[in-house]
Structure 1
Amino acid sequence: MKQGTLITRIVMILLFIMVCVYMAAYAWRSLDQREYTVPTYSHTVDDAAEVTGILVRQEVVISGGGGAAIVDLVPDQGERVAAGQVVAYLYQDEEALSRRQEVRQLQLEREQLLYSLQQESTGTDAARLDQNIVDAMMGLKTSAAYGDLTGLEDQVLTFKSLVIRQDWSTTGGAQDISAMVESLDAQIQALQSAAALDTTSIRVSQSGVFSGETDGYESLLTPESLETMTASQLTSLMAQDPSAPTGTVGKLITSSTWYFAAVVSQETAERLTQGRTVPVRFSRDWSGELDMTVEQVGEPENGQCLVVLSSSRNLAETSLLRKQTVELVFDSVTGIRVPKKAVRTELQTTTDPETEEEVTTSVTGVYVLTGAQAEFKPVEILVDDGDYYLVQASLPQVASDNQIKRAFRAGDQVIISVDELYDGKVISG
């Protein structure tokens, strides 16, 4: 074997051994890294009970939809309607629906012309009119970009009216607009006369909040029935699957107060006090939390109780809800979430200012990485949350500005280590 080949092989073997030693040392250092930090953050722990119940309202079913080929609901879901207001149109065929849509379009044009005629009386020169059109276009663009649709209808009406005014300013004036309004009135009246043969309007006899959905519970569950209902009766009712009445176009919720009835454990019921409020958190079909009043807590029945809660808020948002699983929130604690192994108990020696005697006490706290040093910060444990504690800074009753400034807070990096730690210890990277 040539000497050069032997030397090359020896060098390659040595390089391979050096790489292996380096990788092994790196891996060992990684595995033996005993000191490290974790970030902390503010966290809230709820003392809550999950219950399943049913929403109960004062509801009146709106009948009259039987036999119609097409039902056109007028109000939006959860919209409040007045007594005598039309809530639905019933059409016998597609032609009737098309006629109704044409009437709506003509009525919109008429409204725009009347608005333009009103603005015409204020007097605006051509240059100013052009600038108003540009401003209206920019307003529409901005609203669309930000998803703000609250004033969209008014913005569109204003824009269309400005365009109409610009068109009519070159071809005619207020007299021409008035003539166009009269022509539209005649067309609308002719179409409405024809619609009398194949279109029926449904009006409500009382005011309330409109809902286009019926489920059969409207007559099975009423606020009055809850007053004498038992836990077993409610359980039986919730197990049913009633069908919506035929020939209905929706329902009217006639009272602003609605109820949530549920069967809960006796232990949960004992935590509720009649007349007081409890936060109720909805998180499935509707997300929201509101304070509801405890109307009644029933007598125990096989370890369970019927509870009834009420509210006069968010009626429109909850008008579609029926069976729901919610959380009754009895208490909430907010603090800083830290791993349990980061919490330590240290002995601290202080001097009594009056007797000048040294007093040794046990202090619970965490070590925080400040710069490159470990700093001990006292904490008070609020809640045991599994592998974590919820804590807050522990300060004396009369704390100095420096103590407040150095107190433990969310965002601090706490040190988790199996090695010995002490205040001021330098932590290597």
Structure 2
Amino acid sequence: MRRMFWLMIVLALLSLPSLASAQDIIGPQVYPPGINPLTGLPVPNPEILNRRPMGVKVSNSPAIVRPQYGLNSADIVWEHLLEGGVTRFTAFFLSEDVPRVGPIRSARLVDIPLAHIYGSFLAYSGMSTGTLDSMRADPVMISRLIDNRSCPPMCRIPREGVAFEHTLFGETAGMYVQAQQVGRNTTPDLVSGMAFSELPPSGGVSLNALNVIYRNAETGWEYDPFSGRWLRSQNGEEHFDALSGSRISAANVAIVEANHIEQPFTYDGYWGNGNFAYAADLIGSGRLYLLRDGQYFTGQWRRSGPFAPLTFVDANGVPLPFKPGNTFFNLVPRWVDGYQLEFFLSNAPNGNITVNNANLRTGPGQAYRNPTVAQAGASFPVIGRNNVGDWVQVLLPDDSTLWVSTSIISLNGFDALTLPISRPSNER
């Protein structure tokens, strides 16, 4: 089905306006009055920008928590890895309040740099002792926390067959009231870092869809050329928002690769039941893929310090503009085998196997298992590569992917190094 989209997408791309120039871009340092720095869009009431964004922890596992409430109303959503290889969301609301968001779950260490980046509050339900100690050690986090001490604004809504921990929901307007009542720091910080343009930058590559594969979760994004938005799937199923009743979608999707630092064992239960936690290092720089307007763009995220903005640039260090609208960030770990991407390119080159009984492997190297073989002359779309470019990722007829050494596949003159990198920066 994904491959049938390519003609529609190519036609949609041909109708795009001219590419963005510096004059078309707003941000990333300053924004016109009344423009939301998280979306690049005007807000009906500019006074709403004179407050901190509200960050809310939202569960994404197990499957019974889906569909969640409120994700389509968030300006920015970060999806991050949890222990066990599944994911959780931190959703940031500024331009509008929602009557229900959730289920609300516990905080993680990754929420510290995210709250710094957006100058946000953090609404949550519990956290491990280790995470709480880290929050207390941070110079600002204790003044930003919104817990479930009262109903409203956070209330339990039981549902048959759903565990207690997945029944907490909140309403963001009441969270702001609670922040004032309990003496949280309500003076907003200056938020910056994202550039926006209605026009796409140059250098994009046409893309039908992208899969982000974590250890035990798979996020899918499929481009809809009619709405100009990316439609989300979770583990192969369409993902909906229970509040809006519509499929979760985004104007932009950004894949951010960063170091994930495992925390040392302190004592049993300090980091929760699994005795495992990691901190995401969002200082420095790292690989970035930006998806907008049916294309992907390669770039880099940058951040100079713990209270500096998170910025996004292209290969030449020029600000990479997001499309005005909401953004979903997929945060992926730089670990060996920490994740894999699948780029369903609109115009993928074909590769031809050159030997009989060629091993197709689950990763780019002889150490990965080979669930099947291919014979000489077999042809496959080639959609990605490893960092070095000596292994390529091929698309099978069932839309699954495997890997082939470039020593046994002919790309018919196509340069493998122009393919997107589908594996972590750290490889075996």
TM-score computed with the length of structure 1 as normaliser: 0.21
Structure with higher Rg: it is 1
